[in-house]
Amino acid sequence: MEALAVRLSQLDAQVEGAIRVVMFYDTLMRRRVDLPALARASAGLAECVAGVRLHGTGRSIRCAPDGGAAPAPPAPAPESTAVPIVLDEEEIGTVWLERPGTPLPLDDVLLDRLAIAAAAVVERYGPARTTMADPALVELAVSCDSDEAARARALRLLGFAPDPPVRVVAVRSELPLDRIGALLCPARPVKAAPVAGVGVILATTVDRAAFPDGVRAGIGAAESPELSWQQARTALRFSTARRPVVAYADLGALALLAEVPSDAVRGNADVAAIARLADAPEDLRTLEAYCATGSLRRAADQLHLHHSSVARRLELIGKALGFELTEPTGLLRAGLALTSWRLLDG
């Protein structure tokens, strides 16, 4: 390698420098250095502050050229050049230089090699720190067809210890699964993958308040991953725009509605009436608000309407459904029919 570097250096001084940078990082990787050592060596090579940041842990390392920790600047230091750290096709962090003035010609080469070395370090130490996982491995962990030995091995390969139990979340969203998973469980192991058209997130803890807007999710309650996955998918079916995140544990007896055959649901007169009502979006929203609050005035507050306007709407909706909505039995029938109708689309 050194002989090749000498020969190429006769052709182009910049090529020689690039190859020496590559050799520098090859040596570091052979020595199996950690992230702080990588940052220190990079700062010394670049002769300016070098940084490494991992998104999943929020860990950030800044080193000065003398090998010590770089003092915190009075304001966020400008990153003269930055490159993402990529592992398993997922961006897991960033490396950068804080060089005053114009970047040098070899800065890009240095950062490319630093990013590659940082990804290798992350992969080497501890379970893979990326959020996205092999869908086949995740499916093995949650499938009811897997035996316990295969499930335990899959969870171990995904980075989960035998205890505590793994929580399972079923997700539908346009947002990337890795971003959602990192928000739900930022400081502990979390894995995500699409399975059978539904996003699966496995985590040791789930912060229900951390789900971003635009996400529909169901959270399983069981300790066994295969049962928790079934529960999570059931809970997902109950999610709505008003209630986008549903925990199976909160459903109680309502979960039984998910077990009713679809043909039986479609054949029910109340559900059929709700289906016809769906052609009038304003009426449907009014009924949803009333069923969710159980109060004409609270429904009016949610809809930003006068309570008398909501009362007139509910009277007409009740006539269309064939029963009185303001009676307790009518409210119960409407709520069950509305929920059952939603479950048809799952």
Concatenate the DSSP letters of all residues of 72-115 into one string.
Answer: PPSSPPP-SEEEEEEETTEEEEEEEEE-SSSPPTTHHHHHHHHH
Low-confidence residues of the chain: pLDDT under 50: 1, 4, 8, 10-11, 126-127
Residue corresponding to tokens 């269309």? 320
Domains and CATH numbers, the chain: 2-124 (3.30.450), 135-255 (3.30.70), 260-345 (1.10.10.2840)
Distance, in Å, from the CA atom of 266 to the CA atom of 276, rounded to the nearest integer, reads: 12
What does the pLDDT read at residue 83?
93
Distant-in-sequence, close-in-space partners of 239: CB < 8 Å, separation ≥ 6: 172, 216, 217, 218, 245, 246
Token pair belonging to 221: 């309650």
What does the pLDDT read at residue 78?
62
For 257-300, how does the pLDDT look when each residue is reduced to its tens digit (9 = 90+)?
999 999 999 999 999 999 998 889 899 999 999 998 988 899 88
Token pair belonging to 297: 């005035």
The secondary structure of residue 208, as a DSSP letter, is G
At 172 the three-state DSSP class reads strand
Query: 43 near 95, Cβ under 8 Å?
Result: no
CA–CA distances in Å: residue 68 to residues 26, 40, 43, 52, 116: 23, 7, 9, 14, 23
Residue whose C-alpha is closest to residue 45's, from 60, 67, 71, 30: 67
Q: Is 236 exposed, middle or buried (0-12, 13-18, 19+ CB in 10 A)?
A: buried
Could you tell me the pTM of the whole model?
0.64
Distance, in Å, from the CA atom of 288 to the CA atom of 339, rounded to the nearest integer, reads: 10
Distance, in Å, from the CA atom of 201 to the CA atom of 301, rounded to the nearest integer, reads: 36
Query: 251 near 241, Cβ under 8 Å?
Result: no
What does the pLDDT read at residue 160?
82
